[in-house]
Amino acid sequence: MAAVDRPVAVVTLFLLQVFTVGAGAGVVKITPERELSPRPASVAHREIVVPDKTTQGIADTRVSGAQLAAKLAKLDPDGRIIGVVLDGATRQSLFDARSGQAAVPASTTKIVTSTAVLAALDPSARMTTRVVSKDGRLVLVGGGDPTLSSQDDPKSYPEPASVADLARETAEALKANGTTRITVDYDASLYSGSSLGPGWKPTYFTEGSVAPVSALMVDNGRVAPNPCEGTLAPVEDGPKHATQVFVQWLKRYGVKAAVGRPGSGEGGQKVADVQSPPVSALVEHLMDCSDNDVSEALARQVALKKGLPASFDGAAQAVRGVLQSLGVAQGVDTRDGSGLSPLNRITPLGLAKMISMNALGDRAELRTVITGMPVAGFSGTLAARFLGTPGAGVVRAKTGTLNHVATLAGVIMHKNGRLLTFAFMANGVEDLGAARAVLDRLATAVATCDC
């Protein structure tokens, strides 16, 4: 993964309450979530500056844990929710409902994956898709980028690399050497092991929640460009399909190409390459959209960085090692990067502590985990939640949903100016809508408590 200039992070009005911002602005394009109203066409973005360590960028007024706990207990009288609320700066517990009990986290697992990714990799690093020449043929070599687009001018944020650009550069190089006919093989060997995660249901593929994990794919391995949190069906063979799309673009640029066979690009001569958006932008995207394909891809990049196999087991081992080095591994046991696995177990306390470290710790690059979280009533997987409540625009959190599982974890700027972190988890629920409503009421109560 090559290093490039680090991108700036997207900032909302919520973040302006929490962090100091520096100069410089630009325009980014935001992909609307399916079935939800689109975001504004352009959003100002600025580089996050680390708050002064003596103030941590928050008010001195503390929140009363006793009053908060009493209020939250009334919202879950049956005690079915486990969870915790922490003071973001001191990590003091203000509310605790069996917070050391591990539960299935669903997509709040992406908080764990994103933390490890940003800690292990240069946030400006990118995944590279290459074309090499070998033995009179071309080889399309996957670098692990699931966002590689089949479109000529993709309109999304973060702007992905395009197969069209890769084909254009390749065609120019071939024709410069007098070559107008070629066969294209494909190499997806960067990843190893199963394409189906531990405990994953095969229906995850058929319903479009995720594509078979591969180092070479276009459009997240789907039959067409997949919108934010889209559920388009995956293609039958991701690497072969990516090569078919590449060959179609080569033909448009005047090269008669044919799809070959699986092969190795090792030892080949570089012809062309394109690069994914930087890691920091991909983390913001996967957190906002709950993108399972990007989550699994970045978890494997951590494995590669640590010299481990780019497999589910290798990625899980690598993520665990990074968390241990950060001192936030306690209460975290994950088997995949996306949270689709029902074998994952995380405690609310483990999540809340990790979020506190990301929000107010010493490592500024980890702030991207926070900037990527959806804003209640505004963006991503929270765009249609908290509407018409005091929590809208105040709660920033990652959602999680599986069969019988609903979770919510994130940050809240309390009405007195104190930054709080929280994690609420419900397992074994029959009515997911009702469970999510309770989670939302708990988060709103944290933000509005007169305590």
Tens digit of each residue's pLDDT (9 = 90 or more) over 328-367? 999 999 999 999 999 999 999 999 999 999 999 999 999 9
Does residue 289 or residue 53 have the better pLDDT? 289
Q: What is the mean pLDDT of residues 65-81?
A: 91
Q: Are 233 and 206 in contact (CB under 8 A)?
A: yes
Domain topology for 55-122+282-291+309-448: Beta-lactamase (3.40.710)
Q: What is the mean pLDDT of residues 398-404?
A: 97
Tens digit of pLDDT for each residue in 294-306?
Answer: 999 999 999 999 9
Give φ, ψ of 240 to 5 degrees: -65, -40
Domain extent listing, the chain: 55-122+282-291+309-448, 128-276
What's the whole-model pTM score? Answer: 0.88
Does residue 344 or residue 32 have the better pLDDT? 344
pLDDT of residue 154: 82
Secondary structure letter of residue 116 according to DSSP: H
Q: Are 366 and 357 in contact (CB under 8 A)?
A: yes
pLDDT of residue 129: 98
Q: What is the mean pLDDT of residues 84-103?
A: 96
DSSP string, 276-292: PPPHHHHHHHHHHHT-H
pLDDT of residue 17: 37
Determine the Cα–Cα distance for residues 346 and 405; give it in Å rounded to an integer. 13
Q: Indicate if the pLDDT at residue 42 is higher than 70.
A: no
223 half-sphere exposure, CB direction, 13 A CA radius: 10
Could you give the strand order of the β-sheet that contains 43-46, starting from the edge strand earlier in sequence? Answer: 9-10, 43-46, 27-28
pLDDT of residue 38: 31
Q: Indicate if the pLDDT at residue 20 is higher than 60.
A: no
Chain mean pLDDT for the chain:
87
Is residue 158 reached through a cis peptide bond, with omega within 30 degrees of 0 on the bond before it? yes
Tens digit of pLDDT for each residue in 4-14?
Answer: 322 333 333 33
Amino acid at 271: V
Q: Indicate if the pLDDT at residue 57 is higher than 50.
A: no
Q: Indicate if the pLDDT at residue 39 is higher than 80.
A: no
pLDDT of residue 8: 30
Q: Indicate if the pLDDT at residue 37 is higher than 50.
A: no
Determine the Cα–Cα distance for residues 129 and 3; give it in Å rounded to an integer. 15
pLDDT of residue 61: 66
Q: Are 442 and 84 in contact (CB under 8 A)?
A: no
Q: Indicate if the pLDDT at residue 43 is higher than 60.
A: no
Does residue 64 or residue 434 have the better pLDDT? 434
Tens digit of pLDDT for each residue in 184-211?
Answer: 999 999 999 999 999 999 999 999 999 9
Cβ count within 10 A of residue 417: 13
Percent of the chain's residues with pLDDT above 70 = 86
Give φ, ψ of 375 to 5 degrees: -100, 130
Determine the Cα–Cα distance for residues 16 and 54; give it in Å rounded to an integer. 18
What amino acid positions are annotated as catalytic residues? 107, 110, 290
Q: Which of 140, 156, 157 is nearest to 274 (CA)?
A: 140
Q: 59 pLDDT band (50/70/90 cuts)? A: low
Q: What is the CATH number of domain 128-276?
A: 3.50.80.20
Q: Indicate if the pLDDT at residue 35 is higher than 60.
A: no
Determine the Cα–Cα distance for residues 43 and 25; give it in Å rounded to an integer. 9
Does residue 54 or residue 320 have the better pLDDT? 320
Q: Lowest mean pLDDT: which of 110-119, 165-174, 219-228?
A: 219-228
Amino acid at 130: R
pLDDT of residue 416: 83
Q: How far is CA 245 from the centre of its chain?
A: 26
Q: Which of 366, 158, 196 is nearest to 281 (CA)?
A: 158
